[in-house]
Structure 1
Amino acid sequence: MSLPRANYDPRRVCMNPFPNLHLGKYTRSVGVYLAGALFALANWAFLDACILSSHAHGPPDEPDYEAPVHVSFVDWVPGICSLLGYLIINLIDKDRVKGDQGFGDARAVWRARLFLFIGFALMAGGLAGSVTVLVLKYTFNHDYPEAFTYYGYANVCQNILMMLSACVLWLAQSSASEYEYNLTL
């Protein structure tokens, strides 16, 4: 084994531990606000595309012209998957995933890691679904004007920003808080 026996812990899954970020006094607060801003920007981009799609109409000289494509339920599914993954990831106790607090029950650490994997899998599935919708619905064998392909780009943008927001929030919550005290007897 490459690790010295003193550093070996049989409960560890990964060789590298989670990072302990100590970037300043307000790191946690700035990270939480940044994650919230990314989450809001993600949903704003997609809702903007939905509103534009619902008000899409033809040019004034052609009143019978129907818009070639609209945002439908298929466009909402990747965002819903990413939102569920976002919620699962951020509801997990970070200490339980690390296994640091001596939870006694090894199955609890395993379940926490399983749920973390499911959360990231939902987010990755949402991103893959949004790219699939963009390619199949808006670009593949369709020559829609740029105004209509924006709907697909907004969907991909929403999922990417949600993933970034989840990562920023995870790192911010993993950093040391300015109100954290260690009491020992």
Structure 2
Amino acid sequence: MAGFLDNFRWPECECIDWSERRNAVASVVAGILFFTGWWIMIDAAVVYPKPEQLNHTFHTCGVFSTLAFFMINAVSNAQVRGDSYESGCLGRTGARVWLFIGFMLMFGSLIASMWILFGAYVTQILTLLRQTTEALS
């Protein structure tokens, strides 16, 4: 993922050196998006406090995603490459395993949230649409 934006040409602005700050900017944008997601989820939990309106067990995907977010951001590129991390629990291998577990948690929570979206909400909307079209005809 480190070379994802290498071929992308930013607009030339001499006041900002994007080459050194690319990862920092991407981290800040990811943090803002993550904060916005939590803000919307907390707002929905406050507006719909009853479990019949909003199942609060669905927030576990957000909790695991937050845990994975911190796990992934705790490992630097130098630790994965082995440039600056020789000691520790397992050295470079430990950093890679930690990063792999973080990505697995992140993708698992993403898949679970899509399952919840389609299983709990999209199927209800399709059922309601089917019932209204049958009632109209």
- Count the aligned residue pairs: 117
TM-score (norm 1): 0.51
Distance apart, 1:45 and its partner CA: 2.2
Q: Is contact 1:85–1:122 with CA below 8 Å preserved after alignment?
A: yes
Distance apart, 1:115 and its partner CA: 0.8
Unpaired segments ≥5 residues, structure 2 = 7-16, 130-137
When the two chains are superposed, the root-mean-square deviation of aligned CA atoms in Å is 3.3
Aligned to 2:13: none
Aligned to 2:12: none
Alignment of 1:158-173 (within 5 A): none
Q: Is contact 1:138–1:144 with CA below 8 Å preserved after alignment?
A: no
Provide Cα deviations, 1:8-28, integer angstroms capped at 9, x if missing partner.
xxxxxxxxx943967345445
1:79 aligns with 2:74: no
Among 16, 19, 25, the residue aligned to 1:30 = 25
Aligned to 1:131: 114
Among 45, 51, 66, the residue aligned to 2:46 = 51
Higher helix fraction (1 or 2): 2
The amino acid that maps onto 1:50 is A
Secondary structure of 1:103's counterpart equals coil
Provide Cα deviations, 1:47-106, integer angstroms capped at 9, x if missing partner.
23222322x8xxxxxxxxxxx94223321111111011111111123311111237278x
Larger Rg: 1
Q: Is contact 1:18–1:98 with CA below 8 Å preserved after alignment?
A: no
Aligned to 1:153: none
Larger RCO of the pair (alpha carbons < 8 Å, separation 6+): 1
Q: Percent identity?
A: 27
CA 1:97–1:138 in structure 2 vs 1: closer, same or farther (change >3 Å)? same
Aligned to 1:110: 93
TM-score (norm 2): 0.66
Unpaired segments ≥5 residues, structure 1 = 1-16, 57-67, 146-185
The amino acid that maps onto 1:78 is C
Secondary structure of 1:92's counterpart equals coil
